Each structure stands twice: as C-alpha cells, then as structure tokens.
Structure 1
Amino acid sequence: VLSRLSLARQDVSEASGLVNRVVSQLIRAIRSKEGSFGRIERLGAGSYYERVKIFEPNEFDIMLVMPVARLQLEECDDTGAFYYLTFKRNPKEKYLLKFLDEDGKLSAFKMLQALRDIIKQEVKNIKNVEVTVKRKKAGSPAITLQIKNLPAEISVDIILTLEVQQSWPPSTQDGLKIEQWLGRKVRGEFRNKSLYLVAKQNKKEKVLRGNTWRLSFSHIEKAMMNNHGSSKTCCESDGPKCCRKGCLKLLKYLLERLKMKYPKELEKFFSYHVKTAFFHACVMWPNDTDWHSEDLDHCFQKYLGYFLDCLQKSKLPHFFIPQYNLLSPEDKASSNFLSRQINYQLNNGFPIFQEM
C-alpha cells in the first residue's frame, strides 16, 4: 500500500516547479505594491513539505510570513490557541496601523482583504498558465489559488502569518513533551524559535469580526517530521530505517478515503487530527526500536489503537497547547461514527486499502 501512496517524483517536481514560479511572481508583486507587505517572506508548510503527502501533488500550503517586532497577545477564549493582537506603545510598523479595527485590535480580515486584492490583480499578469483566485470560504484563513495544469488543477492555499520574536504564551508551557523522544535540548531550541500566528477565525465567537489569530507551529512540526528519530541517524541514507512516517501516511490515507465516502458525517475531521495523534504516539513510544521498518503492521495497529482511544474519549489534546482539545465532546456523534468506520476496516483487513 505504502509504495502506491508515494507520489511519483516527476509529478511532484513538475507541480512544485509550477507552484514556485507562480508564488515567486506573486511575492515580488506583493513586496513592490506598498509598504504594508514589503518584508513578506515565504515558508513552505503542510504535508508536501514534510514528505508525507499522499495522492496527486495537487494541493500546496504556502505561508506568507510577515515579521512584526512586538505584539500584545490577549487570549480570546479558553483554548489558549486564539488571540487578539494589539501593539505595545508606538509600533515600528506604522504601515500596519491602517489594519487596526475600532478597538485597536489587528484585523486579520482587513489584512487578508488587502493581500487578496493585490493577488487578484497580479494573477492577471502571470504568463503561460491560467491562475484564478477562488471565492472566499467563511472562516478560512487562506487565499486559495487555482492553477490550471491539465489534466488536473493545482490548488494553492496562501496563509497570512505573523512572525513575532517573543516568548511563547503560557498556554504552551506544558506542551511539546518531547524530552524522552527528541531530547530536552531540542525542546529548548524549538521553544526559542519565533512565535507564528495565522489569520484564523475563532468559530466559538458569537459575532464573526475577523480579528482573531491562532498560534501556528507548522515550522516546528516540519522540523519534527524531518528529524523524527531519537537517534540522529534514523532514516538517513546509511542509517537504520523506521516506519513512523509510513504509519502516518497510512492513517492519513484511511481518513481521506473515509472522508470521500462520508463527506457529511466526517466534515469535522482533518489530517491535523491524525498528525496530532501521531506526535503523541511518537512521545508514547519514543525509541527508534519501537518503530522498526519491518514492524510496520504492528506499529500501525498500535498508533491506530491510540487514535481510536482518543475518539472514544473525545479527547485529543493539541500537541503544543494541551488545554486545547481538538475533539470536542459536542462532536461526540462524529467521533463515534469515525470510530465505527475505522473498527470495521480494522476487523475486516482494511478493504479500503484494496480499492486504490
């Protein structure tokens, strides 16, 4: 199954080459338009960049990162993940003042609107390939580009991200429990990295004002994915191979196939649930010997068992913000449904894997 899930190298490089060309042109245009986005940088995120992508290479996430000197973070609910952002005193970034709302909060909505307008103009100037900007999805922090690349289309989510050089907020204090897995030193290095915030609507808010931002750790997730062994040589060309990424790919595939079959019942589930459970599993079984490549079958069942346990208890703590439960009890019916579907697959030798 895994060999069929690995993307054909040529497809990947063709698709990513096209995406790079389009995004580079957009970034040049965004930087040159006016002061607001002059220092914007690009950061690849998501499964393609972590080398755990499955199916066609037709979906990409690109984070456009804006450095900001200092921000005041105010929690806007009890998850510890969503924040209102205000400036301390006189900000260096005077050009951001026009994006404040009437309460002095930095408006994700206003910033996304300005960025979207620039991108909509610039896609008209892209030569030799047809690029369109998709209509806004409510609550989504992304500006989505559709690139015609016959016979398929490539979808690129552009995510507006702020990078702040300040310590992580208190809600993250007990997260990232990787001491036994990757080591205390690595945890310290990760926590010294910048704080990233993405424009993301908090669905719990009664009135959707578009002024909330969510913590993002995709830069750390990418680092953990690409250096996932408790020993430094794990999965290097001449080092021992493990099956960690293989297990993750299988569960991602299982969820994606089930979502195709039952889109309505499983609309609340995303690959981020599977990825979060994966990081917790890496902590529960921290040694490379727990994930021998030849034990893929056994390791996958172990990881799957943990995920099923989370579904049954409606409890999957965010890996970096432990108070934030990604499986809320009010979605218990969806969790039960997914649990039943996975158990059916498990007890019948995963017929869904034969349908590839």
Structure 2
Amino acid sequence: MSSQRGRRSPRSTAPEQTTAKTQAKVNGRSEEKRDSRSSDGKPRPTGAAKDHDGEKNGHNVTKKRMEKSGSQDKPATSTSDKKPAPQRANSNRQSQKQKCVSSSDRDETSKTSEDPRAPDSRARKSALNADHIGDTQHTKESVSKKQPDQRKFESEGKRHKDDAQESAKSRQSKKQTNPERCESQDKPATNPAPQRAQSKRQSQKQNDHPNRNGDDGSPERSSSARQGKRLVNDKLEVVLHATLEKLKIKKDERSKASSRVNEMTNTVISHLKQKMSWCADIESLTTGSYYENVKICEPNEFDVMLTIPVERVDIQKFNKSGAFYSVALKRHPNKHPLARFLNEDMTIRASEMLNEFRDGVKEAVESLSYKIDVQRKKLKCPAVTLQITENGNPISIDFVLGLKVHGSWPDYTRDGFQIERWLGTKVRTDLKRLPYYLVPKYEGKGNDEHDGVVAKDVWRISFSHVEKDIMKRHGHSKTCCESKGQKCCRKECLKLLKYLLSQLKEKYPEKMSKFCSYHAKTTLFHACARKVEDSDWASGQLANCFQELLGNFVESLRTQDLRNFFVPSQNLLHQDHVPKSNCDFLAEQIKFQQNNTFPIFQDTSKPRSP
C-alpha cells in the first residue's frame, strides 16, 4: 500500500501545479494593467530593491514551511488566520514571492514523491497544499482590492484624454480666426538673443553679398533683372558689330596702299646701301597694326623698321625700368662699320646714327616721281615719318632705325612673356631663340647722364617682330579663326579698344596725349595670358569679352600699373610718364561709355583713323 501511495503522489500534485501556473499568469496580467506608480504616489522599488525584498521574504517563507513540515499532525493553516495586505504597493512583491515559492514547492514535492524512503512525504505534501491554498486565497483578495483602484486610474486617464481633445479643438478654432496669434502661442518659448544674433548675421551676409541685379532676390524681380541685362547685352552686341563694320578696310584700298609702301621702302633701302657704308647690310622688318591685321578705319599708317645687324655687343641697363640700354661693341671696334659712332668706352652714340639715317631717307625719296612730305622730327621719336597722298587720302610711313642683336634675350625679360598656357611652351622657346631689336629712343631729358652715357644715346628694347607672330597665332588651338576652326573675338576686342582711345584722343587731345595704341595691345596680351581657352573668346561673346577687357584696362588706370608684357620691370603707366590725373580722367570716360552703351561708337559720321 505504501508503494502504491508513493506512486500516486506525483499524479496528485498535477492539479496543484496547474493551479500555480494559472495564478502566475493572472499575477503577470495584473502587473501589466496596474499603474506605474503605487497608491501613495511613490515610485516602485527598483530591480535591486525587489531582489533584496524577495530574498528576505523567501527566507521567511522557507522558515515557515520548515516549521509546518516539522509538525506532521498540525492541521493546515486557513486563509482566515493570515493578515490581509495593508497596501497595494506590497501586492506586487507578494505575487513575485508566490511565484518563487510555487516553483520551489514543486521541486521539493517532486523530490519527495520520487524518494520512497522519505518518512514524512505525505505530511509535507499536505502542508504544502494547505500553504498553496492560503496563498491563492490571499492573491484573490489582493486582485479584488486592486480592481477598484485600477478602474479609478482608467477613469482619470479617460478624463485627461477628453480634456486634451477639447483643448486641441479649441486651438484649431482659434487658428482659423487668428492664425498668427495662435502660431506664436504654439511655438515654444525661445531665447530672443540668439534670434537677434542670427538675424544680424543674415543681414550682414546680405550686405556682404548683395544681389548682382540689384533686386530683392524674389524670382519675379530676378527674372526681370536677367531679362533687362540680356536686352542690354543684345543692344551692345548690335552696337559693337556695327562699329566693327565701320572699321573694316576695303581690299582694294589695302592693296593700293600696300603697293605704294613697298615701292617707297625698296627705294629707301637701295639708296641707303649705295650712299652710306654702315648701311650696307641694312634689312627691312615690317611691323605694326597693318601687318598684324588689326588696323582700323583706313590703311593710312605703316611702320617699317630698317635694321643693322650687330654681333658681340655688351648691353647695360640705363635705368631701373629694364627697357632702356646702352650698347657697346666687343669685337674689332675699329674695323666695324659703326666705329664712327663709338664713344671712348665703345658705346654707340645713338643720336648721331639717327641724324645720319634721317638725312639718308630724305635723299632717297627725292628721286620718286610723286610728292612726298617729310614730317618734322618729333621729340624722343626714333622714326622718320613720310607722308604721301593716294587717291586723295593721306598715307604716312614711319621708317625706324634699329639694331638687330643676335644672342640671348636680356635677363630683365626672364619673368616676362608668359605664354606657356596660352600658346604653349614650345612656341615660347622657339620665339625666344629669335634675335631682339634695339631702337634709338629715350625717356626723360636727353642730356640726363648715367654712368657716362647721356639719355639721348640709349636704346629701347623692341619685340615688335614677336608681337606680330603672337597676333598671327593668337589662338590656344592651331586652327583658331581658320576656315574650319573656331572663331574668336581677340582681334575684334583690340580693334574696339584702339578705336575707343582714338576717338577720345580726338575729343580730348590734351588729356589723352600720353596714351597710345601700345597700351591697348599690352592690355590684350595680359588678358590672353590669363584667359587661354578659345571658348573664353568665342565670337558670340564679343560684348562680354570687350567689357571684361575694358575692366582690366580701367583697373590698370586706377592703380596706374600696366607692365610691359616682355619686360615686367617696366611700368607703361608710371607717374613719370603719365600723370595720375590723366589716368583717372581716362578711367572715368571709359566707365561713362560702358554705362551708356558707348555713344561715341554710335556717331553716324565716318570714323577717322587714329
């Protein structure tokens, strides 16, 4: 019998285990539904506090169970003998204790039932069953006490929700009537100081970067400004193209003038070779705007350099500019054709050479059948100017004496002639292998002396032959402006700038007397060295390119700084050569023409050559 009872004891605990599991689920659901705070308003204990209480209560329960198991004949304690939980805050801890006790009881019960040698297994099982019944009754009482409080919290939550909905409806109705006020009320309170600082920064940013079109940045005004600017550019394009049409030279006029100049040049060279021994090897070098295809208005001005080749010369800088030099012969000075013009220090007296050259040119043109006028010598001018009349139009020819020097370019040209990005390194190397030229020209007073050399005997370095080659190439690509290549507006911009200077010079001769076409050409060279791509000078961008070129020239006038393209140490606008007031005057005149679409170009009268 005892063995049968021992075998039945595990099955008898099954309903009790099911009851414990069911009660644990109920306790879990009740914990989820309860509010996060206890009835007295204090927060629940943390996990560490719960574990501490659980260990303490578990110890008490285990002690109580051991006392019950020690008295086998004692009846099970009823639920009425237990004290109810005074507060809901302890209910959670008690339910947790019930879980721990139930699990531990099940383990002990199973061990007791499996061990038949345990003497008090039935008594202990009875005590545990009674303990489970008491715990179950206590849990039901706790749940029944929690339900009214739970309903109370749910009703309060529903009331708060209804109040929030009514408040939202009220704000919505106020927004419809007065939206600005409601929006300001809905926004959270912020510190006004950062807002003022941010507004100040935005205002400063707008001042630093104003709208280029002068509008307020709105799409409508921006579009209107762009459209207005487009109309101005279109009008300027029309004016500039019409001006270029007026500046074109007719082919028949060009050919007639060119043939007459060639005839006079051959006559002068032939006469000088025959009558002057030091001119036996004289050569001609055609330079200037006509041969660079940038001549404007009429073919009425030509420049021809007649050069004497020299070798083994010693050149010394005459002043700080690096553009003027004294020239001395190094080898066999007594046998050299120029020996008659040498000083004691072997320097060449340029002033005497120029006087003999002038006399020889006058004699040469006397043999020609048509009338030729020799212009009066101009101060500091190395040219002998001849003027003839062809079909009622005057034509002037400048014969310039020069020395053709074979050898390396002077050191002062080392930092100049920067065309690598524009025309290429190879082109620069090839051009620097060419000889350079010296012409008898000085600045300042002719009697000024420096190291025993007077100013009238110095020579100015010239690269007119290289300038002609640059204007012939002028494009970044080899096919620029060819029949199948892309067209550019470099030469057109130079023509317009030269014409602008000539028209202002005619209108204000005194203020414009210090300016010449070489200032315009130098400005173009610097612009081409900066803007190297042919697309930057596209023919369709004539207005923009010309305006930008004028901007560069005005900047040079304002700063009074325009460097020689080949000799950077020489400033073509130095105050010793051009007064500051003249530079400012020209800058203002150019800005006026820019702002009024160049009224000086819109004169209907036939343009006159500068």
Q: State the TM-score, normalized to the length of structure 2.
A: 0.57
Question: Which residue in the other structure is 1:288 paired with?
Answer: 534
Contact 1:235 1:242 in 2 (8 A): yes
1:173 to 387, 390, 414: 414
Q: CA deviation at 1:210?
A: 2.1
* 2:353 counterpart of 1:105: no
Distance 1:116 1:290, change over 3 A: same
2:600 to 349, 352, 356: 352
1:249 to 469, 489, 495: 495
Question: Which residue in the other structure is 2:169 paired with?
Answer: none
Task: Give the residue type in structure 1 aligned to 2:377.
Answer: K
Aligned mates of 1:97, 1:5 — CA distance in 2: 47
Q: CA deviation at 1:150?
A: 4.0
Task: Give the residue type in structure 1 aligned to 2:319.
Answer: D
1:200 to 418, 441, 457: 441
* 2:374 counterpart of 1:133: yes
Aligned mates of 1:34, 1:215 — CA distance in 2: 25
* 2:266 counterpart of 1:24: yes
Aligned mates of 2:500, 2:335 — CA distance in 1: 45
1:1-356 equivalence runs, <5 A: 1-91=243-333, 94-101=336-343, 103-127=345-369, 129-203=370-444, 207=448, 210-330=456-576, 331-355=579-603, 356=607
Q: CA deviation at 1:345?
A: 0.3
Aligned mates of 1:117, 1:64 — CA distance in 2: 14
Contact 1:68 1:93 in 2 (8 A): no
Percent identity, please. Answer: 47
Distance 1:23 1:278, change over 3 A: same
Distance 1:92 1:45, change over 3 A: farther
Higher helix share: 2
Aligned mates of 2:312, 2:245 — CA distance in 1: 46
Aligned mates of 2:259, 2:334 — CA distance in 1: 36
Task: Give the residue type in structure 2 aligned to 1:192.
Answer: R
Gaps of 5+ in 1: none
Contact 1:67 1:163 in 2 (8 A): yes
1:25-57: CA deviation from partner (whole Å, max 9, x where unpaired): 111111111320011111111100100000211
Aligned mates of 2:436, 2:521 — CA distance in 1: 20
Contact 1:130 1:147 in 2 (8 A): yes
Task: Give the residue type in structure 2 aligned to 1:256.
Answer: S
Q: CA deviation at 1:204?
A: 5.8
Of 3-12 and 293-302, deviating more is 3-12
1:105-154: CA deviation from partner (whole Å, max 9, x where unpaired): 21121111111112212211112x11132221111000111113241221
Indicate the RMSD between aligned Cα atoms, in angstroms. 1.4
Distance 1:40 1:92, change over 3 A: farther
Contact 2:446 2:456 in 1 (8 A): no
Of 346-355 and 102-111, deviating more is 102-111
Of 118-127 and 250-259, deviating more is 118-127
SS of equivalent residue, structure 1 residue 329: coil
1:198-225: CA deviation from partner (whole Å, max 9, x where unpaired): 1112326653652110000000000000
Gaps of 5+ in 2: 1-242, 449-453
1:86-123: CA deviation from partner (whole Å, max 9, x where unpaired): 11142486210101245532112111111111221221
SS of equivalent residue, structure 2 residue 457: coil
Contact 2:557 2:583 in 1 (8 A): yes
Distance 1:92 1:69, change over 3 A: farther
Task: Give the residue type in structure 1 aligned to 2:465.
Answer: H
Contact 1:61 1:159 in 2 (8 A): yes
Distance 1:324 1:204, change over 3 A: farther
SS of equivalent residue, structure 2 residue 305: strand
Aligned mates of 2:380, 2:405 — CA distance in 1: 23
1:232-281: CA deviation from partner (whole Å, max 9, x where unpaired): 00011221110000111010100110000011001110000010000000
Aligned mates of 2:335, 2:459 — CA distance in 1: 18
SS of equivalent residue, structure 2 residue 380: coil
Distance 1:231 1:292, change over 3 A: same
Higher strand share: 1
Q: State the TM-score, normalized to the length of structure 1.
A: 0.96
Of 88-97 and 306-315, deviating more is 88-97
Task: Give the residue type in structure 1 aligned to 2:548.
Answer: K
1:288-324: CA deviation from partner (whole Å, max 9, x where unpaired): 0100011101111111111111111101000000011
Contact 1:141 1:199 in 2 (8 A): yes
Q: CA deviation at 1:9?
A: 1.2
Aligned mates of 2:334, 2:601 — CA distance in 1: 54
SS of equivalent residue, structure 2 residue 571: coil
Instruction: Give the structure, 1 or 2, with the largest relative contact order (CA under 8 Å, sep 6 or more).
Output: 1
SS of equivalent residue, structure 1 residue 225: helix
Of 192-201 and 141-150, deviating more is 141-150
Distance 1:274 1:155, change over 3 A: same
Aligned mates of 1:146, 1:93 — CA distance in 2: 37
